[in-house]
Amino acid sequence: MAPGDDSNPASYIHTVQHLIERCMTFGMSMEECMEALAKRADVQPVVTSTVWKELEKENKEFFDKYKQWISEKRSASTS
C-alpha cells in the first residue's frame, strides 16, 4: 500500500478513489490515470484499475457520459 501507507484497506481504497476523481477532473482515461498514480502516488496500476472498474459499475451512466466527453474533447483538440 502506498498513499500514507495506511494499514486500513478501506481507507486506502477511499484514498485511491479520491486520486482517481482528481485525475478525472483533468479528463484522464483509466490508462492515463493508472500511469499517473503509479508515478506520482506509488499506487499499483492493478489497484487503480480495480477501483476504477468498481466505480464504473456503481456509476454506469456517469462513466458513459464521461467517456463521451473525453472522446469529444480529444477529437476537438485534434481538429
Grid cell digits, residue 64: 458513459
pLDDT for 74 equals 84
pLDDT for 6 equals 54
Evaluate whether 10 touches 1 at the Cβ level (below 8 Å).
no
pLDDT for 18 equals 98
Evaluate whether 15 touches 3 at the Cβ level (below 8 Å).
yes
Per-residue pLDDT of the chain (79 residues; tens, 9 = 90+): 555 555 789 999 999 999 999 999 999 999 999 999 999 999 999 999 999 999 999 999 999 999 999 999 888 887 6
